[in-house]
Structure 1
Amino acid sequence: RTTNVITHAFAPGTLDTYGSGLLFYHCYCDARKIPEPQRAPASSDLIAACAASAAGNYAGGTVENYVAGRKYWKISWGGFPDVRAWHIIHGVPWVPNKAEFDAIIRGAIALQPPSASRKKRQPYTEEIIAAILAQLNPDVPLDAATGSCLKTGFYSRARVGEITVKTLQSFDPTVHVKPSDVRYE
């Protein structure tokens, strides 16, 4: 029961990709013949070496995700989020060195291959928003919702993925905004 309850502490995205960080970590350990007892609890040195091995081979953001991105550190320090999650779920101590991982992340970003990063996209401007809104009919529910989403994202400076859902099936009424959540003040 404890393990089940703890798994609900992690964001769905963490659990969706739970296996990728663990797979990378275990492949690293297997290739170096790290004995199972040394893999968990994972030492700070082992996780740092594993993270450093990804630098130069992956996008800096990928390595950052493997080593729990900086935004995650504001909540509580991680390390590989999947490996950290495994430790927490199984009640195994977690002891990585935050300062060392911060330096590894900065280095990984500096070493990322040019092919690993996307070109920056042009930002939406008020002119682009106005042109799109001019094509929408506010009396059509889909157009009204599209216009509202566009304006909300623009004026709140949110990313589209932060205010939309990928599919209807991925809608979660406990997380996403519903019509009943709207209020007028």
Structure 2
Amino acid sequence: MAPDELAAIEAPVLVVMGVSGVGKTTVASALAERLGWRRAEGDDLHPAENLAKMASGVPLDDDDRWPWLARVREWIVARTEAGEAGIITCSALTVAYRDQLRQPSVIFVHLDGSLSVVGGRHAARSDHFMPSSLLASQFTALEPLRDDEQSISVGIVESPDAIADRIVAMLGLRRVERPLGAAH
């Protein structure tokens, strides 16, 4: 789908996706700040068992992911039903996973980087539950975006702020003002 067609979505929900360490949280935060949109961290929706499994170096399987994806979908549907734009992070590595998240308002924003670049970033992180040893399995599982998915792909060679600015420009996104005190 062309960026001008994506820009026509009235209250989009961006699913900032990609492998672990690609910058989903950082870019989603920059986008939320620029746009004034609600943001959710998909990792916060993982059941405790999933976090423990990944922290011990064991990759998640589909049985682990489906309940998590259902929670991510619930957040997306809540935004859609409220007519609100939003941003959520989610690896969304496979077509089947993305199919679970699809709504007419959803735009997948794939942050794309090479294993060497992402691996370097991942190795520098000390505050994340997922060990670098699982990164290769994510690259193996990652399926390319298809033409029938409302999506854009953005390289991660620039700063997170520059990436967020590029996404805003590509999709023609605009800021939503909220009353003081409204939660993001």
TM range (shorter): under 0.3
Structure with the higher fraction of residues in strand conformation? 2
Whose Rg is larger?
1
Length-normalised TM-score, structure 2: 0.22
Per the normalisation by structure 1, the TM-score is 0.22
The answer to which structure has the higher helix fraction is 1
